[in-house]
Amino acid sequence: MIDVNASDIHICQIVGDNEDPRIPPLRQISYGIVIPTICCLGIIGNILNLVVLTRRNMRGTAYIYMRGYSAAALLAIIFFIPFALRVLIHKDTGQWNSWPPAFYHAHFELFLGNACLGVGVMMLLALTIERYVSVCRPGKYTRPLCGPPHLTVSLIPLATFLVYLPSAFRGEITTCLVTPGGSLIYQKRDNLSFMHSVFYQIYKVVLEVVFKVAPTILLAAFNLRIMIVYRRSCERRRRMTLSRTVSGGDEDTRTFAEERRLVMLLGSTSILFIVCVTPMVILNVTLADSNLVLYPYQVFRALANLLEVINYSTTFYIYCLFSEDFRNTLIRTLQWPWGKSSSDSRRIPIKRSTIPRPTTTTTTPPPTTIATPGHLARASV
């Protein structure tokens, strides 16, 4: 039981009493219908991602980071659900009858969600760096540039959660009465003394730069360079095939089609990343109780959260669209143990992973080495 000083108890300020009448319908549509639907698709997709990426033929450095990214995306979506329910049911300040849910929403809601998103960003950045080294600097490094992949994947969550720990103190719990002499309830509010401190003002800017702005620039630069090198490699291969016989034409056509899909994936994921991260950077910097009563700000907030959830929920579907290796492994996995006999199942061959290791000398990455950027920003802010 929590002891509450009677002098600290006051009549609750209910958000609905003074908010714009257009905000409740906005909440119902965005946080009650659209975002939950996308979250369900994202949870299913990321679970299937982890199932496929743990198959025996999915080995290599890139797949290790892709598994870490999918796990971080799955947790981020799961932690987004309590946020969406809080905004939909309890609005922004909340109105809880017990202390534990109020404590979670005040201190852990943003901390856990943002930390998981930060882990996803670092996983994606590490994957892109290793891919850049293997494609654009073949043979230069004998070991993974980011260190042993399994160790790196273990250290990234520890370091990220530690960096995000101060954000757990941006909220605080207050107690109040619905009516004079009525029942006691708990609400959350901004910890103004902490949020207005010099430390937090510097901290939130550094956080946005480290986990949003800098990764956006690096991912765009690395992916652009990879696309340029890859296209040059494709052009050389096309010139080499001109002297081949007609019998190899069909195979060359399929190879070039796969190469075009890879280039399209690199470009589309980079654009998706930029589109999704930009609103979240603005939202994280401007988030405050004083802005939450404004209808235009609530529209912008819902749109930014929607883009973020879409970004983390579409990874599986992009893999299926652009990666033949991923599709074949998914089909083989879903067929077991209900599929046909092993002799019949050979009709869907499993390709051995050809993801370039950091020590490889090839300049042509396979289509399955691409991960969808996930953001760099908190979906639930």
Reported as a single tens digit per residue, the pLDDT across 97-156 is 889 999 999 999 989 999 999 999 899 899 888 888 888 887 777 777 888 989 999 999
pLDDT exceeds cutoff 60 at 291: yes
Cα separation, 197 vs 302, in Å, equals 28
pTM across the whole model? 0.79
Q: What is the mean pLDDT of residues 303-326?
A: 86
SS3 assignment, position 357: coil
pLDDT single digits (tens) 6-15: 445 666 666 5
Cα separation, 32 vs 336, in Å, equals 36
- Give the rounded percent of residues in the chain with a pLDDT score beyond 90: 29
What is the DSSP annotation of 101-118?
HHHIIIIIHHHHHHHHHH
Q: Identify the CA nearest to 64 among candidates 130, 136, 135, 143.
A: 130
Which residues are 10's β-sheet partners? 176
The domains of the chain, with CATH numbers, are 6-369 (1.20.1070.10)
CB 265 within 8 A of CB 368: no
Start-to-end C-alpha separation, the chain: 30
Q: State the DSSP H helix or E strand holding residue 239, giving kind and residue range, or none if neither.
A: helix 214-241
pLDDT band for position 368 (50/70/90)?
very low
Radius of gyration of the chain (CA): 24
pLDDT exceeds cutoff 50 at 355: no
Cα separation, 80 vs 84, in Å, equals 6
pLDDT band for position 281 (50/70/90)?
confident
The neighbour count for residue 21, using CB atoms within 10 Å, is 8
- DSSP collapsed to 3 states, the chain: CCCCCHHHCEECCCHHHCCCCCHHHHHHHHHHHHHHHHHHHHHHHHHHHHHHHCCCCCCCHHHHHHHHHHHHHHHHHHHHHHHHHHHHHHCCCCCECCHHHHHHHHHHHHHHHHHHHHHHHHHHHHHHHHHHHHHHCCCCCCCCCCCCHHHHHHHHHHHHHHHHHHHHHCEEEEEEECCCCCCEEEEEEECHHHHCCHHHHHHHHHHHHHHHHHHHHHHHHHHHHHHHHHHHHHHHHHHHHCCCCHHHHHHHHHHHHHHHHHHHHHHHHHHHHHHHHHHHHHHHHHCCCCCCCCHHHHHHHHHHHHHHHHHHHCHHHHHHHHCHHHHHHHHHHHHCCCCCCCCHHHHCCCCCCCCCCCCCCCCCCCHHHCCCCCCCCCCCC
pLDDT single digits (tens) 175-197: 888 777 777 888 888 888 999 99
| pLDDT confidence of residue 336 | 61
Cis peptide, bond prior to residue 337, ω within 30 of zero: yes
